[in-house]
Amino acid sequence: MQNWRDEKNEFSILMLPPAFWLVTFFTLPLVVVWVYSFGNRGPLGETNLGFTLVNYVRAFELVHMAILWKTVWITIIVTALCFAFGFPMAMAISFAPGKWKLRLLMLVILPFWTNLLIRTYAWIAILRPRGILNGGLKWIHDTWYSLIGYGVEEIPKFVPWEILYNDKAVVIGLVYVHIPFMILPIYATMEKLDKSFLEASLDLGSSQMRTIFRVMMPLCMTGIVSGAMLVFVLTLGNFIVADVLGGTNSLMIGNQIARQFGAARDWPFGAALSFVILYATFILLWLRSIYAARLEQRDAKR
């Protein structure tokens, strides 16, 4: 059999268009932003190129680090919730009978056909004090009190649950927006999973729950990791949800960066902020690969 590795010339010609694409549309903009991050903002908001580290110094100021810290926390919570809800959903789809599978998958993907902003705005209608959620709660409240014998006049006033315009709303919105990115990769690995692993676990006496935690989850780890990575990265950069559903202090790092490229017209600072996140991500990935390499080494030694 011919090995494509031996055909260096043909291979490199084939690789040319994608390489070109990658350099032009991925690397180049990144380089531009990177160069900007060392520039400075002119008095009129124009970007003057140069070499200064002031933007980075400013990015490391406590106030920005605090926002980044909070954003990371929210992102961790959102990722965890996406997993907690997404994993059972992926399982439900994976175990659904054939014709239902496609319908359920469609339901997961369907929201993507609607603009993100509009979907986020819809949550206002659900969560606001006189919204759908509180309307339902009020109905339960009133029905309950009349059932236990209160007269119409005696029913205590319903106090709406304040769940809009605070971090709870932001988390709900972010989970809603990003959960498909968790479900789809997990579902994909589940579909490839040999179901006899699960049967073997049951057969060996495990309960369904133990089977899920001890066999299903570890075997779906690649899907879980890629889903979590996607959700994490997308949530970290999202600013629309915090904008629309957040309260007075729900600022996330994405809002901060977006504002620098928008109203504040301070592109160099915005660029530096973005790159601080990028560097942090790289360091995390680097640490993770070191950890993985160590595990491998340990395994090899045994």
Contact set with another protein (CB under 8 A): 29, 41, 43-46, 63-64, 66-67, 70, 115-117, 124, 128-130, 162, 164-165, 194, 196-197, 199-207, 210, 214-215, 218-219, 221, 239-240, 243-244, 246-251, 255-256, 258-267, 270, 299, 302
Q: Which two tokens stand for residue 3?
A: 């090995």
- Angle, vertex CA 294, rays to CA 290 and CA 299, nearest 5: 150
CA distance 190 to 95: 9
133 neighbors 162 (Cβ within 8 angstroms): no
Q: Considering beta carbons, is residue 70 or 141 the nearer one to another protein?
A: 70
Shortest Cβ distance from residue 264 to another protein (Å)? 5
Q: Which two tokens stand for residue 262?
A: 């928008």
Q: Considering beta carbons, is residue 79 or 255 the nearer one to another protein?
A: 255
Q: Considering beta carbons, is residue 15 or 50 the nearer one to another protein?
A: 50
Shortest Cβ distance from residue 170 to another protein (Å)? 11
Q: Considering beta carbons, is residue 63 or 107 the nearer one to another protein?
A: 63
DSSP state of 51: -
Helix ranges restricted to H, the chain: 8-22, 28-36, 54-59, 62-95, 98-109, 116-127, 132-147, 167-192, 196-203, 208-211, 217-219, 221-237, 240-245, 253-261, 267-301
CA distance 66 to 257: 14
CA distance 196 to 186: 18
Shortest Cβ distance from residue 234 to another protein (Å)? 14
CA distance 276 to 53: 12
Shortest Cβ distance from residue 150 to another protein (Å)? 25
CA distance 177 to 245: 12
Q: Considering beta carbons, is residue 220 or 231 the nearer one to another protein?
A: 220
Helix ranges restricted to H, 61-115: 62-95, 98-109
Shortest Cβ distance from residue 25 to another protein (Å)? 11
Shortest Cβ distance from residue 205 to another protein (Å)? 4
Shortest Cβ distance from residue 89 to another protein (Å)? 23
Q: Considering beta carbons, is residue 98 or 149 the nearer one to another protein?
A: 98
Q: Considering beta carbons, is residue 141 or 265 the nearer one to another protein?
A: 265
